[in-house]
């Protein structure tokens, strides 16, 4: 079928929602013509996969349009009660379709904000320590007539310059990471468009965030330093400002608390991911299969499933070959729904369904609980269902074999019952599901092939592609992958969540450790005279070590406790994205606390070890 170009979409255009990138749009009439002779597709009135987009002049037209669409739904229900009875029309918005992605983006932005707060507190502590080391310089400036406001502006300018340079470096790193994102992501059976890019909004947001951070980090240290006691500083004495100590300690406690919160979240998501990996999705995820999905560009000359499977079985090292309408755990598949009812019963309900060929369950490693799977020459009215559907219709798998039911206006007999599974998403709720036969003689329009490769499935990819294109040159292979890579695609969202949270937590741990190291180094330098006197009076190195570590241990304990309390308060939010893991999971909590305490004590131990190596006489002589 030939086409002519009617228009060109602007660069960067994408439809709402998460999905693979789209480069070509065809009129719905062309899809219907292509489906004739291949599969009924959009010609089925019970096909609910079609989405209709309506462009309104204004939001005030929404009630009127809802009423119009409601009238259309009512008319269709009267004319086609078998498929449209009880069906209504919901008028949503593009914003609602994007709501899930926006919620994820808000959560990610909040977590990145926590890391920013840790970094800001770190920088504020460093600026305060640096300002106190320049206390004599500032005292001389004030004594010579400089105003305090001028000193505050000077320190804020330095903080702003530091923040802008860091923002520029961060943007360069972000630009590199965006370009490297496809290589960083785990392998997937199809390309994905996450719509990640740096534009003017990102640059403006970064600039404003840099300004806010510079003011937040530099203002408090600048005000504190500019209020130093001039007489004490000019006499060369070290001012003992208790307020400065508590301010720096409070910043460090906040860093450790935020770090503890991030580590607990990373631990919970990691535990949840491990639990998700243990899910049995109704088949063996470790089976050695090559999975090929395809569409036929010219249905009139399309090969049928039998020709494709026979050609593939002729390959050396290839075992079982089967086919299906839709692959299980395809992010954008699902197989559609069928109306199911019992003979003589008026009530019916929707169940998911898929069309499969002989040997499908053997190839997938699905457990057959009762009966048998489809065999070559199986009667066309045979069906296989999962245990949940058998239990709903007849109370259990034992009672289902040989029974009749009605689906899509046709009577079927149950040949087998298989285990429950996951059919579209790995975390979906269990649901009734039906498997019908896909005729091997009908020319294929779109579907998937399952090729068993007992050796290394990856080594068979090239040979499978060659055989399929030679058997039917009009067959367009959309994805060609292994079961392992297919499962990576099914697990992509939990994997990204756990991995991203883990990276942010590690970054937070590093920043908190650096902050504690800086504070303890500064504290040791300020207490050199005290430590020298203690050691001259007979204090042992272990006593000095305990003296220095006591302060850091107290700060770490307070920060970790605050982080634990914050994690418990956020338990309701966290529990909605966890799988079979409690927000108070002891393993995750203990791992997070242990990691924070270990890193913090290690960061404090280095300055403490340096303190016990002081020469008391050299320190006292210097004083």
The answer to whether the beta carbons of residues 302 and 445 sit under 8 Å apart is yes
Mean predicted lDDT score pLDDT of the chain = 80
Top mean pLDDT of 31-40, 126-135, 276-285 is at: 276-285
- Does residue 305 share a domain with residue 454? yes
Each residue's pLDDT tens digit, 564-604: 888 887 766 677 778 888 888 888 888 888 888 888 878 87
- Does residue 228 share a domain with residue 152? yes
- Does residue 68 share a domain with residue 40? yes
**Which tokens sit at 304?**
């049928």
- Does residue 348 share a domain with residue 205? no
CA 383 to chain centre: 37
- Does residue 188 share a domain with residue 337? no
Domain containing 298 equals 289-490
CA angle, residues 597, 600, 603, in degrees to nearest 5: 145
- Does residue 558 share a domain with residue 512? yes
- Does residue 195 share a domain with residue 157? yes
Domain boundary among 97, 118, 136: 97
Top mean pLDDT of 47-51, 402-406, 408-412, 444-448 is at: 402-406
Contacts of range 85-93, beta carbons closer than 8 Å, 24 or more positions apart: 91/54, 91/62, 91/65, 91/66
Q: Which tops the pLDDT comparison, 557 or 143?
A: 557
Predicted model pTM: 0.76
Tell me how far apart the alpha carbons of residues 129 and 610 are, in angstroms, rounded to a whole number: 19
Q: Which tops the pLDDT comparison, 471 or 440?
A: 471
In a domain, 4, yes or no: no
In a domain, 17, yes or no: no
The answer to whether the beta carbons of residues 398 and 348 sit under 8 Å apart is no
Burial of 123 per CB tally in 10 Å (0-12, 13-18, 19+): buried
The total number of structural domains that make up the chain: 3
Domain boundary among 46, 71, 97: 97
Which pLDDT value is given to residue 377?
81
Tell me how far apart the alpha carbons of residues 382 and 371 are, in angstroms, rounded to a whole number: 11
- Does residue 236 share a domain with residue 320? no
Tell me how far apart the alpha carbons of residues 306 and 377 are, in angstroms, rounded to a whole number: 12
- pLDDT over threshold 80, residue 621: no
Which pLDDT value is given to residue 35?
47
Each residue's pLDDT tens digit, 342-368: 988 878 888 989 999 999 999 999 999
Domain boundary among 490, 521, 556: 490
- Does residue 442 share a domain with residue 517? no
Burial of 619 per CB tally in 10 Å (0-12, 13-18, 19+): middle
Tracing tokens 């400036």 back to the chain, one arrives at 141
The answer to whether the beta carbons of residues 210 and 167 sit under 8 Å apart is yes
Residue 303 CB: number of other CB atoms within 10 A?
A: 17
In a domain, 57, yes or no: yes
HSE-up of residue 160 (Cα within 13 Å, Cβ side): 12
Q: Which tops the pLDDT comparison, 77 or 36?
A: 77
Which pLDDT value is given to residue 30?
66
In a domain, 8, yes or no: no
Which pLDDT value is given to residue 441?
77
- pLDDT over threshold 60, residue 332: no
Each residue's pLDDT tens digit, 414-434: 999 999 999 988 988 889 999
Tell me how far apart the alpha carbons of residues 63 and 27 are, in angstroms, rounded to a whole number: 28
- Does residue 597 share a domain with residue 511? yes
Task: Give every CB contact of residue 88 below 8 A, 6+ residues apart in sequence.
Answer: 70, 73
Each residue's pLDDT tens digit, 383-394: 999 999 999 999
In a domain, 5, yes or no: no
In a domain, 481, yes or no: yes
Which pLDDT value is given to residue 39?
43
Which pLDDT value is given to residue 554?
84
- Compute CA distances 129 → 126, 524, 606, whole Å: 5, 12, 18
Each residue's pLDDT tens digit, 524-565: 777 777 777 777 777 787 887 787 788 778 888 888 888 888
Tell me how far apart the alpha carbons of residues 432 and 404 are, in angstroms, rounded to a whole number: 16
* H/E stretch holding 411: strand 410-418
Contacts of range 10-15, beta carbons closer than 8 Å, 24 or more positions apart: 14/193, 14/195
Which pLDDT value is given to residue 173?
86
In a domain, 10, yes or no: no
In a domain, 11, yes or no: no
Q: Which tops the pLDDT comparison, 238 or 272?
A: 272
Tell me how far apart the alpha carbons of residues 225 and 282 are, in angstroms, rounded to a whole number: 66
Please spell the DSSP secondary structure of 458-481, one letter per residue: GGGHHHHHHHHHHH-TTEEEEEEE
Each residue's pLDDT tens digit, 215-254: 777 777 677 666 665 565 555 555 555 555 677 778 788 8
- Compute CA distances 621 → 312, 468, 489, 528, 536, whole Å: 88, 87, 68, 12, 12
- Does residue 300 share a domain with residue 247? no
- Does residue 518 share a domain with residue 486? no
Which of 31, 28, 84, 4 has the alpha carbon at shortest distance from 446? 31
């Amino acid at each position: 079928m030939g086409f002519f170009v009617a228009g060109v979409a602007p660069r960067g255009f994408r439809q709402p929602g998460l999905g693979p990138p789209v480069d070509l749009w065809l009129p719905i009439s062309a899809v219907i013509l292509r489906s004739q002779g291949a599969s009924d597709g959009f010609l089925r009135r019970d096909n609910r996969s079609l989405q209709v987009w309506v462009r309104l002049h204004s939001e005030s037209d929404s009630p009127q349009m809802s009423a119009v669409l409601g009238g259309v739904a009512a008319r269709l229900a009267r004319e086609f009660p078998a498929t449209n009875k009880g069906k209504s029309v919901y008028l949503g918005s593009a914003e609602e379709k994007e709501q899930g992605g926006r919620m994820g983006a808000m959560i990610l932005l909040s977590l990145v904000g926590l890391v920013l707060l840790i970094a800001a507190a770190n920088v504020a502590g460093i600026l305060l320590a640096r300002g106190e080391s320049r206390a004599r310089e500032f005292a001389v400036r004030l004594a010579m007539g400089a105003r305090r406001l001028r000193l505050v502006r000077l320190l804020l300018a330095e903080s702003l310059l530091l923040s802008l340079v860091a923002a520029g470096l961060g943007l360069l790193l972000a630009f590199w990471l965006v370009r490297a994102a496809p290589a960083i992501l785990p392998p997937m059976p199809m390309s994905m468009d996450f719509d990640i890019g740096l534009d003017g909004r990102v640059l403006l947001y970064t600039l404003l965030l840099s300004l806010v951070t510079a003011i937040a980090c530099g203002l408090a240290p600048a005000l504190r330093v500019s209020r130093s006691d001039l007489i004490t500083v000019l006499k060369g004495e070290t001012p003992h400002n208790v307020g400065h100590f508590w301010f720096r300690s409070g910043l460090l406690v906040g860093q450790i608390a935020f770090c503890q919160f991030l580590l607990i979240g990373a631990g919970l998501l990691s535990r949840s991911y491990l639990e998700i990996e243990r899910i049995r999705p109704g088949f063996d995820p470790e089976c050695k299969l090559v999975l090929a999905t395809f569409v036929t560009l010219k249905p009139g000359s399309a090969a049928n499933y039998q020709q494709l499977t026979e050609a593939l079985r002729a390959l050396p090292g290839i075992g079982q070959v089967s086919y299906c309408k839709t692959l299980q755990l395809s992010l954008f598949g699902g197989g559609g729904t069928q109306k199911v009812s019992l003979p003589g019963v008026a009530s019916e309900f929707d169940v998911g369904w898929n069309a499969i060929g002989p040997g499908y369950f053997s190839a997938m490693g699905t457990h057959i609980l009762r009966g048998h799977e489809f065999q070559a020459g199986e009667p066309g009215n045979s069906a296989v269902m999962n245990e949940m559907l058998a239990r709903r219709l007849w109370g259990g798998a034992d009672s289902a074999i040989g029974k009749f039911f009605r689906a899509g206006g046709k009577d079927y007999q149950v040949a087998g019952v298989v285990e429950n599974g996951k059919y579209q998403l790995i975390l979906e709720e269990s649901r009734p599901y039906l498997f019908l036969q896909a005729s091997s003689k009908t020319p294929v329009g779109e579907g998937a092939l399952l090729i068993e490769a007992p050796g290394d499935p990856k080594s068979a990819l090239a040979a499978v592609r060659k055989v399929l294109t030679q058997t039917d040159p009009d067959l367009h292979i959309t994805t060609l992958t292994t079961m392992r890579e297919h499962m990576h695609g099914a697990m992509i969202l939990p994997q990204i969540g756990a991995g991203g949270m883990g990276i942010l937590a590690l970054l937070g741990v590093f920043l908190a450790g650096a902050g504690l190291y800086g504070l303890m180094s500064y504290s040791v330098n300020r207490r050199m005279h005290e430590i020298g006197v203690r050691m001259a009076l007979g204090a042992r190195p272990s006593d000095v070590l305990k003296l220095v570590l006591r302060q850091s241990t107290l700060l770490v304990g307070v920060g970790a406790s605050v982080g634990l309390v914050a994690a418990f308060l956020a338990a309701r939010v966290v529990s909605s994205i966890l799988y079979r893991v409690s927000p108070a999971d002891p393993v995750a909590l203990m791992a997070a606390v242990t990691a924070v305490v270990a890193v913090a004590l290690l960061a404090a131990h280095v300055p403490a070890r340096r303190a016990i190596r002081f020469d008391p006489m050299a320190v006292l002589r210097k004083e």
